[in-house]
Structure 1
Amino acid sequence: MPLTDSVRRIAAVLGRLAPPYGPLELPPPVSLDESFDDIAPGYAEFLRLADGATCGSRGDIRLWSAASVRQTPWMADDLPGGDARWCAVADVLQNPVLVERATGEVWWFSDLNIVWYTDAELVSFAKLADDVAGFIDYLILGPGYVQHLSSGRDDPWLQALSSSEVGQHG
């Protein structure tokens, strides 16, 4: 699914979040005049559609704004290739999500029960998706949310996601 469709779906879910969690709106996109030479290309494309997003019932998944991405290159310091290879773009339960600059692949610390920076051997550092759209479609809008983050049928994000899907197909 193209990234534009994924971002539209996030906007729909945010708009359907029940109080006190929402409804919310996506931040406006970053200006076309702003250079993104320092941000992984796949994520730069997302920023041209929205300057970040807070997703999940309790803000468990945060897609970072351009300013936040630029403030966190240190998160890649202990990874092979460092900041030259990796661009931190989001977090899941405060564990970073990174894009490999050369491939566009999205990686994360998959064991959400440990604190990422204590995983010195990178045991839980794993590929999450082939690209940013795949990450969004799997972990924010798809089965990965249910598997890793949902608190059950009463989860407000899951309910908004379900009503958004019904609205799209109904």
Structure 2
Amino acid sequence: MTPELRQLIGELRADLVEDEPASLEYAHFGEGAAIDAVPAGLPTDLRDLLLVADGLRAGLVELASTSTLAGIQYHLDHAPDFSTIPEDRAGWLVIGTCGDDPILMDRGTGAVWYFPPTGTEWFMSDTFEELAPDLGSFVDYYVLGPGYAELTPSDDLWFAFLDEQGLLDDEEDESP
């Protein structure tokens, strides 16, 4: 995780806290986890994120905390057969959700994957795609930037917050 992304998460957390309780309706960034609370064996990018924000809810995107990470791995049991997940379940980690759909990390590469909307439930989907080459890029573009609108079906309070913060206007941001 870049120092700039760490700083941005800290600044956004402070802005959200300042606007509580109203901001709790659409977002919450947990304080960083204690080093000994982060489960062993996690990919470095995820470990770094948990040390900065132990759980992050931003509109429809929710990234797991140290206490909820193990509880969302059940999504792996329902992965469609066409995906590589059933063949190599240990190679994948569910790191969060977008609505009810899982967001996964390839443990080998660190890339972030999802089942894009196809008009059917994710577990019956015939499409599984890489969203970002790493977790930092995913958080920066899809959670805290203009890519959020690509993941969600409509404008919501998180989208409005990102717009107020000027995070949707940066023409230099490009999809990872």
**How high is the TM-score relative to the length of structure 1?**
0.77
Percent identity, aligned pairs only?
Answer: 25
Residue of 101, 106, 115 corresponding to 2:112:
106
RMSD of aligned residue pairs (Cα, Å): 2.7
Query: In 1, distance between residues paired with 2:118 and 2:141?
Result: 16
Amino acid in structure 2 at the alignment position of 1:165: G
Counterpart of 1:84 in structure 2 is 90
Q: What is the aligned length? A: 158
Tell me the distance in 2 between the aligned counterparts of 1:131 and 1:41.
10
Name the counterpart of 2:75.
75
- Higher mean Cα deviation, 41-50 or 19-28? 19-28
Residues 150-170 of structure 1: per-residue CA shift (max 9 Å, x gap): 634xx422222122237xx9x
- Matched residue, 2:5: 6
Larger relative contact order (Cα-Cα within 8 Å, sequence gap ≥ 6): 1
CA contact (8 A) 1:29 1:48 kept: yes
Question: 1:36: which partner in 2?
Answer: 39
Q: Quick one: which amino acid aligns to residue 47 of structure 2?
A: A
Q: Distance in 2 between matches of 1:14 and 1:113?
A: 34
- The alignment's TM-score, normalised by the length of structure 2, stands at 0.74
Counterpart residue identity of residue 101, structure 1: R
Unaligned runs of 5+ in 2: 80-84, 171-176
**Which has the larger displacement, 143-152 or 45-54?**
143-152
Match of 2:99 in 1: 93
5+ residue gaps in structure 1?
none
